[in-house]
């Protein structure tokens, strides 16, 4: 940069620290500065992804809900996965609601809806099975 010309506004080539009245600890050029609390972003790998979003288990909840839906219609045992998927989806939705625009919000919502439907079908099936058993017991069979 040539003498007499200024850098574009909002950009400083070599920022110099502001003068301080504190003589006890002089601030040297290039010395570490205190960072205000709350201004530090979480490190990658500590519950966040490359975009800085907190990671969720929305995809796992969706996979479990789909397995419980498809497998539950063919066999009864995968229906048991639906309540687990519902819990995971609700936890993921709590995280995504705290961060507006979170990329996994739709996945978590879909997992929640599918899991709620399959869990309701599971409860209805257990209720009907219980009533059937009770009817057989009272008929003396």
Tens of pLDDT, residue by residue over 74-101, are: 777 777 889 999 999 999 999 988 888 8
Segments making up each domain of the chain, as ranges: 58-138
Q: What is the 3-state secondary structure (H, E, C) of the chain?
A: CCCCCCCCCCCCCCCCCCCCCCCCCCCCCCCCCCCCCCCCCCCCCCCECCCCCECCCHHHHHHHHHHHHHHHHHCCHHHHHHHHHHHHHHHHHHHHHHCCCCCCHHHHHHHHHHHHHHHHHHHHHHHHHHHHHHHHHHCCC
Summarised one tens digit per residue, pLDDT across range 87-137 is 999 999 999 888 888 888 899 999 999 999 999 988 998 899 999 999 999
Q: Is the pTM of this model over 0.75?
A: no
Average pLDDT, the chain: 76
């Amino acid at each position: 940069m040539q003498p007499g010309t200024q850098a574009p506004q909002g950009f400083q080539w070599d920022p110099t620290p502001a003068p301080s009245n504190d003589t006890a600890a002089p601030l040297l050029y290039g010395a570490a500065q205190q960072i205000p609390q709350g201004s530090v972003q979480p490190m990658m790998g500590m519950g966040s992804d490359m975009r800085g979003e907190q990671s969720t288990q929305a995809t796992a909840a969706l996979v479990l809900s789909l397995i419980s839906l498809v497998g539950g219609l063919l066999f009864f045992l995968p229906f048991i996965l639906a309540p687990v998927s519902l819990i995971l989806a609700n936890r993921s939705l709590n995280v995504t609601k705290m961060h507006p625009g979170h990329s996994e919000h739709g996945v978590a919502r879909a997992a929640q809806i599918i899991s709620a439907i399959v869990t309701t079908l599971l409860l209805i099936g257990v209720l009907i099975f219980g009533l059937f058993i009770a009817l057989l017991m009272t008929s003396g069979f």
